[in-house]
A and B are shown apart, each in its own frame.
Chain A
Amino acid sequence: MVKKDNLQAVAEAKNKWETGTLQKTIGKYPERHSDFMTVSGSPVERLYTPQDIEELDYLEDLGFPGEYPYTRGVQPTMYRGRLWTMRQYAGFGTAVESNQRYKYLLSQGQTGLSVAFDLPTQIGYDSDHPMAEGEVGKVGVAVSSLGDMEVLFDEIPLGKVSTSMTINASAAVLLCMYMAVAEKQGVPWKDLRGTIQNDVLKEYSARGTYIFPPSPSMRLITDIFAFCSKEVPRWNTISISGYHIREAGSTAAQEIAFTLADGIAYVEAALKAGLHVDDFGPRLSFFFASHNDVLEEIAKFRATRRLWARIMKERFGAKNPRSMKVRFHTQTCGHTLTAQQPLNNIVRVTLQALAAVLGGTQSLHTNSYDEALGLPTEEAVRIALRTQQIIGYESNVAETIDPLAGSYYIESMTNRLEKEAADYIRKIDDLGGAVKAIEQGYIQREIQDSAYRYQQEIESGRRTIIGVNKFQVEEKSRSKIMKVDPAVGQSQAQRLKQLRKERDNREVKRCLAELRRGARTDENLIPPIYRAVKAYATLGEICDVLRDVFGEYRPTEIV
């Protein structure tokens, strides 16, 4: 990017500066550490100069917004056209309570819904299953049947909002419920906008809410791809997630690599299932974390866009530019929130959110400051949303596109992260791809090693966490906490009992038998699941049929 003779002059001048000006100061005032590093543990130099981006080719490596390789952003006008979607993940207790929270959030200017389901729902258990005890309605809303889903979206026009659902192993069932509610509201499927997470590979490697073994899970995913590409064309059929990989402890480079390696596995599975890359490629979306290291995170988002664009174009021969774009949601890192002096979390979240915006995110969830203590209170959720609004409307960072491009540090880190991630992907390819790498425990081990290293850096004081290992204060009782009514479990059990009594049980039985037959063949499973959902078969009943046919995943646990 810099002319050769210039570069020579810069090198000489830098050398002069180092031996002169710098040396004098360092002699008197040594630096804080002997070496500096990013949050991910990569070395950080004192100063970056044109020498560090010598190889960068503007047109080839950066280009223009909305054009390959999308380093500068996936849309031509980015936030000048429209700000990112402010989408707060929410859901708790019963469908009635969550429905009220959604309406409140929409009234406060939130522009998209993001549904959190409770763990039994995510693992395909009805609320009255023995394993669900103590978990119903805790980390999200409990949805056991279409009846619950109808309540959850009551008076919310599905043709107007875009809805993101954090649901993976049981995604097919919940998507069918959503489609059924739309049908009741008279909204055509082609108008539905939203996302299901549907990324089961990261469940094995990082998040833990898996049900079935990899191969039938991949089949469910490709069935959804195939069905939606025809019937629900505006729906994002997967949100390939690095967020949980990062939260489990990975570095930034690992977050990129393991996410894109999962992405490669989905693309390959879909191709194998006979789909064309440009049929489903445009519907792939991504989900990343934003950590404390503002500059490293910005570089991470840029590197991810460039790497995926290259993979889709060069490796899979995608022709449609939309297939090459990384459109992504970002959430600020939950594990960086401290229980100590919780108001400080507002500042952390602000910095992380800023990094996501400067990195060109399409939608954003900002964590509430009290989430290390328990479920967020309404006030904390509002501050989190206001944080985004202040960045969007007051800080002026959204007025120009990719403002940090050209920074020697940002560009050299973007290059480094892309290279590190590509190296990891090559290693995973050598192991036989993401599924095999997970089965062998490779990805889990890499993540755990990083997590342990990070924790040891905190223990040793090498890494400072304000209020935790530095600047602690004596604190009195901490702030108020939102509580889920423990009666949720009982009321859900009651509703289920009622449902099983009132529905047409012969129809349910027929639909489940049909689903079982389908699961044994290789027909697309979405239509039979849809019919079962419509007949008010419960989530647990549907998943039990599939568990029966597919078996359950058992982890390759390596600590």
Chain B
Amino acid sequence: MGSHALEQLLQEFYRGSKMAAARIISLVERNDPAGREILKQLYSKSGQGYIIGITGPAGSGKSTLTDSLVKLLRQQNRRVGVVAVDPTSPFTGGALLGDRVRMGELSLDSEVFIRSMGTRGNLGGLSWAARDALVVLDAFGCDYLFVETVGAGQSQVDVARVADTVIMVDVPGLGDDIQAAKAGIMEIGDIFVVNKADRGDADKLVRYLQSTLELGQQNDDEWQPPVLKTIAWQGTGVEDVLKGIMAHRRHLEQSGLIVSRRKQRLKEEVILQVERLVQMRLSEGFQSEEVLSRVYCRELDPWTAAKTMINSLSGKKCEARNP
């Protein structure tokens, strides 16, 4: 993509074109160098939106809950972005992204942007593209950003890495113990939602969650994660979830935790970027045979070898780009 076309795309983006925003996300998603370039330019405009992660097992009604929450935020005239991530098939590379089915009416709202994404290469986790898409939508002026993933261990933890508030959704009847407890990641949830609460054993699940949470209280954070019941398709209980989000946000802001959390998140992200770059540079410039031979002959120890490599890297110009 030429610099002129790139500039034009940015102009349209700043004018509020959804098509432009969508195309930028596509560029980023397919690792196009132009995408990274644009992202760098957009970056200064991001950081205003509040990010909410929604995670839970398949069939727990995450999209429906998101749909209802977005509708409430629209009543408050907020601009909202949604990134819905579904798994990519490791065999074919294809993906079926069906979250829009439950958010059909929102498509037409000029102040709502919904994007479905496959995890692509990122097995089970949240892809870089999803984080980048959040940056794009943040810079697009979205006040609230939702990122929704199917809960499967790693992706839930990843959601916690990007979101200010993490909502873990569960439904009665999926099993005796809940998914998050099984995976040992209850502590990443800021709000717990028991959806489809009209089902018989909803209260049992609520009690189970509450007692598990009490056992696990060891955070320095004083936030007590609430356990809320919803029937998302009817909108029942969804206002309480939104209130919970707002309360958590106030808590983060008043305690200053929002700054330290976001900094921590950025630190992790920058370190990750460093690792990627180093890996990339090494795979490009690593004279493996020669160095390995020397280590093999015990002319060199692995620690010195590594240090030499790093030193040799720091001299080179490090161009930020995707592997």
Contact = CB atoms under 8 A, between A and B. Distances in A.
Interface in A424-450: 432, 436, 439-441
22 contacts: A213-B233, A213-B234, A432-B173, A432-B199, A436-B199, A439-B196, A440-B59, A441-B59, A551-B234, A554-B64, A554-B102, A554-B233, A555-B101, A555-B102, A556-B59, A557-B98, A557-B101, A557-B102, A558-B59, A558-B98, A559-B96, A559-B98
Contacts of B101: 555, 557
B189 to A, nearest CB: 23
Interface in B209-234: 233-234
Contacts, number: 22
A145 to B, nearest CB: 28
Interface of B: 59, 64, 96, 98, 101-102, 173, 196, 199, 233-234
Lowest 7 A-B CB distances belong to which pairs? Answer: A557-B101, A559-B96, A559-B98, A554-B233, A557-B98, A440-B59, A554-B102
Contacts of A554: 64, 102, 233
A135 to B, nearest CB: 18
B255 to A, nearest CB: 38
A54 B199 CA distance: 44
A555 B102 CA distance: 7
B104 to A, nearest CB: 8
A378 B102 CA distance: 41
Place the interface of chain A in its size category.
Answer: 10 to 19
A441 B196 CA distance: 14
Contacts of B199: 432, 436
Contacts of B98: 557-559
A432 B199 CA distance: 10
A554 B105 CA distance: 11
A439 B64 CA distance: 13
A432 B234 CA distance: 20
Tell which of A432, A439, A554, A555 has the most Cβ of chain B within 10 Å.
A554
Nearest to A215: B198
A551 B68 CA distance: 14
Interface string A393-436: 00000000000000000000000000000000000000010001
Contacts of A559: 96, 98
A559 B96 CA distance: 7
Contacts of B234: 213, 551
A556 B232 CA distance: 12
A211 to B, nearest CB: 14
A439 B172 CA distance: 13
Contacts of B173: 432
Nearest to B233: A554
Interface string A439-470: 11100000000000000000000000000000
Contacts of A440: 59
B91 to A, nearest CB: 15
Contacts of B233: 213, 554
Contacts of A436: 199
Contacts of A557: 98, 101-102
Contacts of A556: 59
A213 B231 CA distance: 13
Contacts of A551: 234
Nearest to A213: B233
Interface in A540-559: 551, 554-559
Interface string A515-559: 000000000000000000000000000000000000100111111
Contacts of B96: 559
Contacts of B102: 554-555, 557
Given A432-B199, A436-B199, A556-B59, 9 more contacts: A213-B233, A213-B234, A432-B173, A439-B196, A441-B59, A551-B234, A554-B102, A559-B96, A559-B98
B61 to A, nearest CB: 8
Nearest to B67: A554
A78 B64 CA distance: 51
A429 to B, nearest CB: 14
Interface in A117-172: none
A396 B304 CA distance: 95
Contacts of B59: 440-441, 556, 558
Nearest to B64: A554
B58 to A, nearest CB: 9
A514 to B, nearest CB: 25
Contacts of B196: 439
A192 B121 CA distance: 64
A556 B102 CA distance: 8
Nearest to A439: B196
A496 B173 CA distance: 48
B70 to A, nearest CB: 14
Nearest to A442: B59
Contacts of A558: 59, 98
Interface in A227-246: none
A441 B199 CA distance: 16
A441 B64 CA distance: 14
Contacts of B64: 554
A436 B196 CA distance: 11
B219 to A, nearest CB: 34
Contacts of A555: 101-102
A351 to B, nearest CB: 36
Nearest to B198: A215
A559 B116 CA distance: 15
A396 to B, nearest CB: 51
A392 to B, nearest CB: 45
A556 B199 CA distance: 16
Contacts of A213: 233-234
